[in-house]
Amino acid sequence: MPIEYVAGDLFANRFGADALAHGCNCAGSMGAGIAVGFRERYPEMFAEYRRRCKADPPEFGLGDAFLWREAGKPAVLNLGTQPRPGRGATYPAVEAALRAARAAADAAGLASVAMPRIAAGYGGLSWNRVKGLIEAAFADWAGTVYVYEEFQPEG
């Protein structure tokens, strides 16, 4: 299986993943959890994410994956896992977003993706169930997925 469960700091990217993925809400807010780290490290991505969420009609919703590329940095896969900030992620949204992420990674030629325990923190879902969704979505993928099950500071 192309999935490795690791401990460390996602942003240190010690495995050199082509993209960093994370679950996010569809309201345009990255104000808590690991999303804050993405907002701070990728301000232009955050502005585009916010614009897509606030567009009428919205251009980023539940089950979507929005790929952002920026020179000199790993790409970002924003996964629409919950409608609003706080608890409220759903398994169907996570499953659809993971499948969309895989399709986006394939289309972009990405060979590796790293992610935290999506939707299991602020999203409020069971990590064991989400883990199964990740394994189903990427079971036969040609690339490698690094799942950071435990945060450990690096460097």
CATH code for position 62: 3.40.220.10
pLDDT tens across 33-82, in order? 899 999 999 999 999 999 999 999 999 999 999 999 999 999 999 999 99
- For the chain, give percent helix, strand, coil, nearest 5: 35, 25, 40
What would the mean pLDDT of 116-135 be, rounded to a whole number? 95
| pLDDT of res. 153 | 84
pTM of the model: 0.95
Identity of residue 32: A
Q: Find all residues with CB under 8 Å of 123, minimum gap 6, and list them.
A: 23, 81, 82, 87, 88, 89, 94
For the chain, the domain total comes to 1
d(CA 71, CA 142): 24
Identity of residue 111: A
Residue-number span of the structural domain to which 45 is assigned: 3-151
Q: How confident is the model at residue 86 (pLDDT cuts 50, 70, 90)?
A: confident
